[in-house]
Amino acid sequence: MVVAEQKPIEEILVMVADFNKVLLTGCKGCVTVCCSGGQKEVGILASALKIARKKEGREIEIDEITLERQCDPEYVDQLEEPIASNKYDAVLSMACSVGPQYIAKRYEDILVYPCLNTTFIGGALEHGVWAEFCQACGSCGIHNFGALCPIARCAKSLMNGPCGGSAGGKCEISPETDCVWHLIYERMSRLGQLDKMGNVVMFKDWTSSRDGGPRKMVREDLKQ
Amino acid sequence: MRLNYPSNVKIINVPCTGRVDILHLLKAVEDGADGVYVAGCLEGDCHYLTGNLKAKKRVNYVKKVLEGIGMEPERVEMYNMSAAEGARFAEIAREFTQRIQELGPSPVRSGAKAA
Amino acid sequence: MKAGSKLEKVFAAGHFAVTGELGPPRGADAHHIHEKAEYLKGMVESVNVTDNQTAVVRMASMAVCRLLLDMGIEPNLQMVCRDRNRLAIQADLLGASALGIKNVLCLSGDHQKFGDHPQAKNVFDIDSIQLIAVLKKMRDEGKLINDHECEGIPQYFIGAAVNPFADPFEFRVTRLKKKIDAGVDFIQTQCIYNMEKFHTYMQQAYDQGLTEKCYVMAGITPLKSVGMARYMQKFVPGLDVPEEYIERLKGVDKKKQGDEGIKIAIEQIQEMKETKGIAGVHVMAIEWEERVEEIVSGAGLLPRPEVS
């Protein structure tokens, strides 16, 4: 899933400093699963913002709505009625950064602000802890590395690791960070594929990655 | 036992402090409570095993939120006591009331008045 | 001959080679470089010029290499993959060749997290082993990565670094072999203190015939003080400085610790001369260039051989 975390509330307060009435929108997709932008987090942020503004003596009115997904036009359409019938100063989105962009595209005349920082594509390690697993390079080759991704999980995205900074299974950048190449070594060893690790992996073609420009996927059979 | 505790403390019963949500605490502050505290069972004595520990983490989360918006985090607190300790309950009620009196009224209410 | 550099010739003639190292300044002061380089002149075959070492911005390695050439000192251009993509790397390599630089050391580069611009975006388009392959392809096939033929084929003596002390230890010799497969001509190791572990590593490399396929230079960094030794032990990944050395430094007067460190370095070099598969030493006297002569001479390696 896409993992995101809420921006510091101080930053959000600055964004809404001049507003008296805003629509705060959540998303029931990835950000609900990673507990950063679902219905519950929308309620908590709305309450915190209201407390802050009451304290300053200038109350802010916040309507809350959590959409099925903010990355699908059909759900973003559901904001039409509330936006049309209320004089909102702005729409705040608690989706990954796709959400606010969809809202801005659909509702051209209203200010849109992101309340989350989209951090990575990853998964949960345990309840309350998430980590990065994929960098969306667009041409998956993890089967060559014991089904572990060196591009997303090696600090230097090495194709021929582990480098000289690998110590005790940890990366030189932090004792908190596993050396993915150490994990690759252990797994290849268990699978009896260590000989594969002896082969030089040549240059990666990055055209399928962000480096090839913004990407698009088309399924002709589904397209209307 | 007829123990006295300050009349300004309003008790909201929950089956277990594990039921107390971040939003419950925030809403109380938003609606103008000068302070909110959670009175849970002693750590290790939760009938549901970890309810009071979860409540403690949520109280800490709310403290951080309040800090982020420039409000005293001491206005929310977690206390642990046994259901058999009536005297301790009254003592904490007095202690927390005194703390809040020292902090003064919630800026949420005074801010509203200033407007 | 691959590139006909002095370093390559010294190896080819069967001599025990010596290289030095110089860190460019964090400013535009070229005078400082001349001063430091003067100490290395005649002491070593060639001098490594670091490339934004430890991810700290310094004068460009290529520019300093050219300054050394003007002084009559042969440079080893260090090149990291952190700061350039394949376009910049190949362009720089062609330029280096045109400037008369023949020895190139291929490195991944320290992560910018530890440097003076931790906010920087890193590149890592290719890694250090692939960088070796780039140089080899340019030199042996006269082609760029995209198979475009070079107008004017560059000549390089290709170097790389290895850290025998990183984990997993059992994989380290295999990784050396990968560098050889990619086309490396010479290797400089991370500074060595744990001689026992290093000998285990070298024995494996020797047994696999790897030391026949490239020249391995042992990295030597003299310890200046107990403090420096402790620092290396604690903060440089995989660098275990044995207590024995620390005890020796502790055993002498504080002012004499540097002398003791130099004595240890000389003993290490003498041991390296007797080690199978070691073709030379890389003396990294960090901000201590003035003592290099003492080390090289103490190890009986002066005068340096004349080659033509």
Interface of A with C (CB under 8 A): 155-169, 172-173, 179, 182, 185-186, 194, 197-204, 206
Q: What pLDDT is recorded for position B35? A: 97
Of A166, A198, A203, the CB nearest to C178: A198
Q: Is the dihedral of CA C211, C132, C201, C244 positive or negative?
A: positive
Interface of B with A in 9-48 (CB under 8 A): 22-23, 26-27, 29-30
Cα–Cα distance, C191 to C17 (Å, whole number): 16
Q: Nearest chain C residue to A158 by CA: give it.
A: C127
Check whether B114 has a pLDDT greater than 90. Answer: no
User: Is C68 exposed, middle or buried, given 0-12, 13-18 or 19+ CB atoms closer than 10 A?
Assistant: buried
Given an 8 Å threshold on Cβ–Cβ distance, is C109 in contact with A200?
A: no
Considering just the CA atoms, what is the radius of gyration of chain C in Å? 19
CATH-assigned architecture of domain C6-298: Alpha-Beta Barrel (3.20)
Contact call for C108 and A158, based on CB within 8 A = yes
Flag if B26 and A51 touch (Cβ within 8 Å): yes
C229-250 burial, b at 16+ Cβ within 10 Å, e below that, comes to beebbeebbbbebeeebbebbe
Statement: residue A80 has pLDDT above 70: yes
Q: Lowest-confidence range among A121-125, C160-164, C240-244, C251-255? A: C240-244
A110-151 tens-digit pLDDT: 999 999 999 999 999 999 999 999 999 999 999 999 999 999
Q: Report pLDDT digits (tens) over C42-99.
A: 999 999 999 999 999 999 999 999 999 999 999 999 999 999 999 999 999 999 999 9
Per-residue confidence (pLDDT) for residue B112, from 0 to 100:
54
Q: Do C168 and A155 touch (CB under 8 A)?
A: no
Q: Which of A133, A176, A102, A142 is nearest to A34 (CA)?
A: A133
Minimal C-alpha gap between A147 and chain C (Å): 19
User: What pLDDT, on the 0 to 100 scale, is given for residue C232?
Assistant: 87
Note whether B touches C: 3 CB pairs or more under 8 A: no
Determine the residue type at B30: E
Distances in Å between the alpha carbon of C166 and those of A104, A160, C169, C173?
50, 14, 6, 11
Burial readout C147-161 (b: 16 or more C-beta within 10 A, e: otherwise): eeebeeebebbbbbb
Chain B residues within an 8 Å CB radius of A16: none
Span C195-212, mean pLDDT?
97
Cβ distance of A47 and B30 shorter than 8 Å: yes
The neighbour count for residue A220, using CB atoms within 10 Å, is 5
pTM of the model: 0.94
**Contact call for A156 and C82, based on CB within 8 A:** yes
- The mean pLDDT value of chain C amounts to 96
Domain A2-119 belongs to what topology? Rossmann fold (3.40.50)
In angstroms, the CA C245 to CA C295 distance is 17
Q: How far apart are CA C169 and CA C175, in angstroms?
A: 10
| CB crowding A15-50: b at 16 or more within 10 Å, else e | bbeebeebbbbbbbbbbbbbebbbbebbbbbbbbbb
Measured in whole angstroms, the distance separating CA A115 from the mean position of its chain's CA atoms is: 12
> Which helix (DSSP H) or strand (DSSP E) does residue C62 occupy?
helix C61-70
* Angle formed at CA C164 by CA C276 and CA C177, multiple of 5 degrees: 75
Measure A174 CA to nearest chain C CA, in Å: 10
Neighbours of chain B (3+ CB pairs under 8 A): A
Q: What is the pLDDT of residue C240?
A: 79
**C259 CB near a chain A CB, below 8 Å?**
no
* Partners of residue A185 in chain C, C-beta under 8 Å: 168, 171
Rounded to an integer, the average pLDDT of B71-82 is 96
Share of chain A above pLDDT 70, in %: 100
- Cα A106 to Cα A84: distance, rounded to the nearest angstrom: 13
B69:A40 CB<8 A: no
pLDDT at C299 (0 to 100): 97
- The B residues from 46 to 85 touching A (CB cutoff 8 Å) are 65-66, 68-71
How is chain A split into domains, by residue range? Answer: 2-119, 135-201
Work out the average pLDDT over C108-117: 95
